[in-house]
Amino acid sequence: MPRDLLIRHATLPDGRTGIDLLARDGRFAAIGPALPVPEGAEVIDAGGWLFSPPFVDAHFHLDAALSHGLPRVNDSGTLLEGIRLWGELKPLLTEEAVIERALAYCDWAVARGLLAIRSHVDVCDERLLAVRALLEVKRLVAPYLTLQLVAFPQDGLLRSPGAEALLERALAMGVDVVGGIPHHERTAAEGAESVRRLCELAAAHGLRVDMHCDETDDPASRHVETLAYQAQRLKLHDRVTGSHLTSMHSMDNAYAAKLVALVAASGMNAIANPLINITLQGRYDTYPRRRGMTRVPELMDAGVTVAFGHDCVMDPWYALGSADMLEVASMGLHVAQMTGQAAQRRCFDAVTTNPARILGLEGYGLEAGCRADGVLLQARTPQEAIRLRAARLLVVRGGTVMSRSAPALAQLALPGRPSSVDFTRQDVAAAQTPPR
């Protein structure tokens, strides 16, 4: 029988301090102050640091991750050159190489406390090579990372010959979620038609939907409205997610206000991808140059579940990134100007609890009975974790330690000053309001 794990003296994201967490048989058996130590248990002192449920990335492309420079780099830096470049790379891919890169990325993810990823997988390929590769990766990483796959018709459901049949084949092979890309279809009418067909397909199979929707600076693009309409008409509600929604950044405020209300009424979720939106959108602007991220605080205020995704790491669209969801939260916070204490806390939720809800993760959270998953961060509050991109001191999955990192600590040699520097300050942490 596996040993119990007792994590002592942790701070929780809800502000409680001095909390112990007991993991038994993969679940939290008890969470509270001064728990008795079970015989034979492994005991770890959290030292007052923040123990959070794990990070969740609701929007990623694992089939392209870590392929930067293959077969060449994106010179213009635009979304469209990225799509062309991916089209050049696709015929050169091997299943082994996709699996190797994806596994390497999942190693990075675990080390960063990122234990669940929803990844789109391109189905516009007769061989469905990436689908086969990522289904194998999903099986291989299952003991330490939850991978949810979205059948993504990158070249357009109707625009790319055979895409619809390939997407259905991918679902039959075990891909979990129905994807789409209506703004990339030939016409607005075909975009709307693709949304209808894909949502009906999901409803017929009891699946979730997550579409790249209006990833464009075009304020006249109307696919978010169509997706919300179909989510409501087919009673799919929160089983539907719109990813990117960047057109909403550029829309007239009067229409955007109507649209936010429609999205909220439909029950659908939204995902912004701050690192990618800030670099790919506004690319055809001179000055002022638009940020391009969707209206995050407005959607949250209306009651929509909003997550921040990483989208890309070292691939044809984005040459940076390291599986750090705190970097994603920090960029989202800056781009949306969510600098107030409560708003910062919402940005932490956007990389933890909100994406967990969007993915429908079972047993996510810090309550007795939940899965014993979490990350010990070298910070005292969620806000401080974002500020510092806090070190992941400990990553736990199913009550087993999966990764440890050394605390961030510099040794100084300054005249008349202490020899070490600590970027966490209790007086700063104390000034931050308890989350809620």
Question: How crowded is the C-beta side of 234, counted as CA atoms within 13 Å?
Answer: 26
Nearer to Fe ion, 60 or 144 (CB): 60
Q: Say which of 215, 225, 327, 384 is annotated catalytic.
A: 215
- DSSP annotation string for 317-372: TBS---S-HHHHHHHHHHHTT--SHHHHHHHHHTTTHHHHHHHT-TT-SSSTTSB-
- DSSP annotation string for 234-293: TT-GGGEEEEE-THHHHS-HHHHHHHHHHHHHHT-EEEE-HHHHHHHTTTT--SSPP---
Pairing of the two strands 269-272 and 374-377: unpaired
Token readout for 158 is 């109707």
Nearer to Fe ion, 11 or 277 (CB): 277
| Chain residue at closest Cβ approach to Fe ion | 311
Nearer to Fe ion, 242 or 399 (CB): 242
What is the closest distance, in whole angstroms, from the C-beta atom of residue 244 to Fe ion in the complex? 7
What is the closest distance, in whole angstroms, from the C-beta atom of residue 406 to Fe ion in the complex? 33
What is the closest distance, in whole angstroms, from the C-beta atom of residue 16 to Fe ion in the complex? 36
What residues from 272 to 311 belong to the interface with Fe ion (CB under 5 A)? 311
Give the angle subtended at the CA of 79 by the CAs of 360 and 90, to the nearest 5°. Answer: 80
Cα gap 167→343, rounded to integer Å: 38
Nearer to Fe ion, 8 or 101 (CB): 101
Q: Could you say whether residue 315 binds Fe ion (CB under 5 A)?
A: no
What is the closest distance, in whole angstroms, from the C-beta atom of residue 66 to Fe ion in the complex? 16
30 phi and psi, to 5 degrees? -160, 145
- DSSP annotation string for 95-140: HHHHHHHHHHHHHHHHHTTEEEEEEEEE--STT-HHHHHHHHHHHH
Nearer to Fe ion, 151 or 376 (CB): 151
What is the closest distance, in whole angstroms, from the C-beta atom of residue 150 to Fe ion in the complex? 9
Nearer to Fe ion, 311 or 315 (CB): 311
Q: Per-residue x/- mask for Fe ion, residues 341 to 370, rule CB under 5 A? A: ------------------------------
Q: What Rg value do the Cα atoms of the chain yield, rounded?
A: 22
Nearer to Fe ion, 57 or 349 (CB): 57
Considering CB under 5 A, how many residues would be counted as binding Fe ion?
1
Peptide bond into 161 cis (omega under 30): no
What is the closest distance, in whole angstroms, from the C-beta atom of residue 83 to Fe ion in the complex? 11
Q: CB–CB of 358/29 below 8 Å?
A: no
Length of the chain: 436
- Looking up tokens 């909390």 gives 19
- Look up 215 and say whether it is catalytic: yes
Token readout for 325 is 């969801």
What is the closest distance, in whole angstroms, from the C-beta atom of residue 333 to Fe ion in the complex? 20
Cα gap 436→272, rounded to integer Å: 24
Residues involved in catalysis = 215
Q: Which residues bind Fe ion (CB under 5 A)?
A: 311
